[in-house]
Amino acid sequence: MFLMKTIRLSYLMRLPLFCAAVLAITSSFIVYSSAPVSAEETDVILGDTAKEPDFSELYAIIKEERKALEIKKKELQEEGKRLKALQSDITKEYKKLITLQKELEVELSKKGEKQEIEIKNIVKLYEAMSPEEAAKALEKMELTLAAQLISQINPRKSGKILDAMDTIKVKEITKAMFEKQKNK
């Protein structure tokens, strides 16, 4: 029994504290919920954190950035189209140049063949001449052409022609023939 009285007394001693706490909580709840509170009072009670942030400025900035990005995107797309068009033009021009190069190679080949035929005809003409006449004509000719002709003339006949020529000119022609063979 003594124990029961002690337990009841300890509960009774705690009861006023409990009641005071419940009263404090309910009274503050009543104050907050029953009476309208102005913005200034809310700032005082809750501090600056109670204010809602102003999203309109942030939204406007984001909207402007989006517009700028869209403009940049369109510019880049237009630049891409322009570059593709340029690439197409360059490819067309390149193909034209390749075609022209092939045509020129064919023409040069034909011209080279014609020139070889003409040189062979000239060689036959010089071979038919007397060595003295051929020597006079070759001495007056350009050095590289004279060397080319003499190198294609029959070796026996070219020896006679060179024998009839001036020794200085023979030396120059021989040197030109050697250089031509060296460069081949």
The structural domains of the chain, with segments of one domain joined by +, span 51-128, 129-184
**What is the per-residue DSSP string for 80-148?**
HHHHHHHHHHHHHHHHHHHHHHHHHHHHHHHHHHHHHHHHHHHHHHHHHS-HHHHHHHHHHS-HHHHHH
- Stated pTM of the model: 0.43
The predicted pLDDT at position 181 comes to 82
Q: What's residue 21's pLDDT? A: 56
User: What pLDDT shows up at residue 84?
Assistant: 95
How much is the pLDDT for 103?
94
Q: How confident is the model at residue 1 (pLDDT cuts 50, 70, 90)?
A: very low
Percent of the chain surpassing pLDDT 90? 35
% of the chain surpassing 70 pLDDT:
71
| Higher-confidence position of 180 and 98 | 98
